Amino acid sequence: MSLKRRAVLFGGALVFSLSILLGIALTLGIAWPNLEAALYFTKWTSAPLHGLECPFFLTAAQGDVIQLTVKNPTPRTLQVRAQATFSRTIFREESQTIELSPGAKGQIVWPVSAEDVDWGLFAFADVLLFPIASEPFRQANCGILYLDIPWLSGRQVYALALGICLAGILGGLVMVWANPPRSRRGQEVERWMRVLSVIVLMALLVSSLGMWFFGIILLAATVLMVSMFLYLLVSQSDSAG
């Protein structure tokens, strides 16, 4: 194998590996706070509440909002009330009420900022929706990872990290595909790269969609596969020539 070809393959594998690690960190940053939030608050009802949207990250640069989408399923106009509780040394509670016409949807929005951070790492929010017609109390919560970054918002951090992760994974794969390894071990590494990229992107996707529990399961599988991939990568490097 020529020195140039070997350098391209190594560079592609290095870019890919660093991007995979970034994808793991990003998935962990989304899933871990939600796991902590599920343990942080008292569970008042077993009825799940859907429609709660929270940012993934919160920074020192600026605050953000959490948003609850609610619907009036009845044929009459209703006053819909929801209460949000935020983590801090002394809990912050805010109740809001909106009027919805028959069959209409509406959004209830609460601000969240660095002042709501507890343990120096997370901001937690717990939302309780009061009964609507025959529907009982419903509850949902979420966790947001706090980053002490003064120049980017949480949404900018997520967009930037996601872009770098996707570009790095794709770029690393393209560099390897453009110079396919001839050895059997090298071809095995290439197959592992494809599989690993799919699993990491799936973990990132399901976590971003709010299915953080499945994201954690995929994350555990990813860590195991990364260990095996790095072993194969080192073995390939040692045996290349």
Band of pLDDT at residue 157, cut at 50, 70 and 90: very high
Predicted confidence (pLDDT) per residue in 117-137, tens digit: 998 899 999 999 999 878 899
User: What 3-state DSSP class applies to 21?
Assistant: helix
Q: Answer whether 92's CB lies under 8 Å from 85's CB.
A: yes
Predicted confidence (pLDDT) per residue in 14-53, tens digit: 898 899 999 999 999 999 999 999 999 988 888 999 999 9
Separation of alpha carbons 105 and 227, rounded Å = 47
Phi, psi (rounded to 5 degrees) for 184: -65, -40
Tell me the CA distances in angstroms from 123 to 12, 33, 42, 89, 184, one per residue in order.
Answer: 37, 8, 16, 11, 49
Give the global pTM.
Answer: 0.85
Band of pLDDT at residue 238, cut at 50, 70 and 90: low
Please identify which residue in the block is written with the tokens 């949207």. 53
Average pLDDT, integer, range 145-159: 94
User: What 3-state DSSP class applies to 9?
Assistant: helix
Separation of alpha carbons 3 and 24, rounded Å = 31
Is 59 a residue whose pLDDT tops 90? yes
Tell me the CA distances in angstroms from 36 to 48, 67, 229, one per residue in order.
Answer: 17, 20, 30
Predicted confidence (pLDDT) per residue in 4-24, tens digit: 767 777 788 889 889 999 999
Predicted confidence (pLDDT) per residue in 69-79, tens digit: 999 988 999 99
Q: Answer whether 97's CB lies under 8 Å from 79's CB.
A: yes
Band of pLDDT at residue 185, cut at 50, 70 and 90: low
